[in-house]
Amino acid sequence: AFSCTARASAPVHNLTVIGSGLMGAGIAQVSAQTGHNVTLVDMTNELLQRAEQRIKGSVERVAKKQFKEDPKAQSDFASQTLSRIKYMVDVEKSVGSDCDLLIEAIIENMKIKQNLFSKLDKVAPSSTIFTSNTSSLSITEMASVTGRADRFGGLHFFNPVAVMKLVEVVRIAGTSDATFDTLTSYVTAVKKTPVCCKDTPGFIVNRLLVPYLAEAMRLLERGDASARDIDTAMKLGAGYPMGPIELADYVGLDVNKFVLDGWHKKFPDNPLFAPSETLNKLVDEGKLGVKTGEGFYKYD
Ligand code: CAA
Ligand code: NAD
């Protein structure tokens, strides 16, 4: 086992985040809040405009919290943060000669991620470190389509990025010490706590969290307890901020299903990764949780 200690390393000044969804927008935000210059990329200007609005809303919440009684400091912090983010639809132009770090946060699909990395490997400066924010896929498989396995790793943030304090730094076999040190220092620079682990399915958090959420769904499916009681039990009896059923809705039932199905296919004999009928049914019906207004629960 190895631990996560940041040693002196090349700092990250400029980074490119590909995918401006829930996670990419959050990663861009916390990086800009801490003085980094960010280029945020997505497929259309409409998607980027939506991301910009979400970032603005979240930065204002953070500013209010950080500078409670000082409206001028709040608006300075917000405008400086927002001015550090550039928006771009051209992926290949988004990794300029000064790009220190690339963080991929697009759709959770290996082929699409590999396609992106292989394209970027040809145009990015050789010094740029490549990383993925994947929840469940192998970083090693992504790095294999590039010629920079030594400058490749995982940076796994948590939702909501502005609030959650952890980032998992994932080392593949080829990740160099210099790359690892730069990634760990970047995590510290964005005011998050790094933990590190090998490229194992689900890393640390999801390897424990996904089977726990699935087990809560199975408890519900058997009719052993109601969703509300399962959630209340884990909040008040185990000190979790959200119960497992509401957390599944919060993460997105499609995301839960995708991760569980992927692992079940790879490790069919592991009962922790067995599919859940209720989860499959809700996803079929388009009830994906908070983001669609209904999952296990209904939302206004
Ligand atoms: N932007 C900025 N600030 C935000 C925010 C956002 N998007 N969301 C919440 N906040 C701030 C609020 O302003 C609030 O600040 P104050 O303390 O100053 O009031 C604070 O965070 C708490 O928020 P709320 O009062 O609205 O709600 P809460 O106390 O219930 O906390 C929560 C919300 C932080 C989401 C909490 O319920 C929680 O920690 N839930 C568990 C989340 C979790 O487990 N995430 C991991 C999911 S797994 C994953 O991400 C990995 C994967 O690969 C799928
Ligand atoms: P999302 O659907 O909110 O956002 C993904 C964005 O990527 C979309 O805006 C999409 O238009 C864009 N995109 C897709 N293909 C692209 C391409 N080829 N080029 C540029 N942009 C492209 O998804 P998300 O929840 O932000 O998840 C992103 C990644 O982060 C996934 O790998 C996911 O597993 C991981 N993750 C998700 C969570 C979570 O709680 N949702 C937590 C941690 C990690």
pLDDT digits (tens, 9 = 90+) for 202-218: 999 999 999 999 999 99
Ligand 2 pocket, 248 CB below 6 A? no
Q: Which of 244, 241, 251, 262 is nearest to 288 (CA)?
A: 251
- pLDDT at position 300: 87
113 is in an annotated binding site: yes
Q: What is the mean pLDDT of the chain?
A: 96
Residue pair 220/246 in contact by the 8 Å Cβ criterion: no
- Residue 2's pLDDT band, with cuts at 50, 70 and 90, is low
- CATH dotted code for 207-291: 1.10.1040.10
Q: Burial letters for 267-289: b for 16+ Cβ neighbours within 10 Å, e otherwise? A: eeeeeebeebeebeebbeeebbb
* Model ipTM over 0.85: yes
pLDDT tens, position by position, 97-118: 999 999 999 999 999 999 999 9
Q: Closest ligand to 65 CA? A: 1
Q: Report the side by side order of strands in the sheet with 166-171.
A: 85-88, 37-41, 14-18, 101-104, 129-132, 152-156, 166-171, 193-198
In the chain, beta strands by DSSP E: 14-18, 37-41, 85-88, 101-104, 129-132, 152-156, 166-171, 193-198
Give phi and psi for 279, each to the nearest 5: -60, -45
Element (H, E) at 241: none
- pLDDT at position 37: 98
Please determine, for residue 284, whether its predicted confidence score (pLDDT) is greater than 80.
yes
Q: Catalytic positions, please?
A: 135, 156, 168, 206
Give the mean model confidence (pLDDT) for residues 268-283.
95
pLDDT tens, position by position, 112-139: 999 999 999 999 999 999 999 999 999 9
Top mutation candidate among 54, 56, 60, 61 for ligand 1, by most atoms within 8 Å of CB? 61
- Residue 106 Cα to ligand 2 midpoint, Å, equals 4
Distance CA 254, CA 141 (A): 23
Please determine, for residue 6, whether its predicted confidence score (pLDDT) is greater than 80.
no
Ligand 2 pocket, 40 CB below 6 A? no
Quickly count: other Cβ atoms within 10 Å of residue 224's Cβ.
Answer: 10
Q: Which of 166, 160, 206 is nearest to 190 (CA)?
A: 166
- Residue 279 Cα to ligand 1 midpoint, Å, equals 23
Element (H, E) at 33: helix 22-33
35 is in an annotated binding site: no
Give the mean model confidence (pLDDT) for residues 147-161.
98
Question: Do the domains 14-198 and 207-291 sit in the same CATH topology, yes or no?
Answer: no
In the chain, where the domains are located: 14-198, 207-291
- pLDDT at position 1: 60
Distance CA 178, CA 7 (A): 9
132 is in an annotated binding site: no
- pTM > 0.90: yes
- Residue 145's pLDDT band, with cuts at 50, 70 and 90, is very high
Give the mean model confidence (pLDDT) for residues 3-14.
82
- pLDDT at position 8: 78
Class of the domain covering 14-198: alpha beta
Give the mean model confidence (pLDDT) for residues 34-42.
98
Please determine, for residue 3, whether its predicted confidence score (pLDDT) is greater than 70.
no
- Residue 94's pLDDT band, with cuts at 50, 70 and 90, is very high
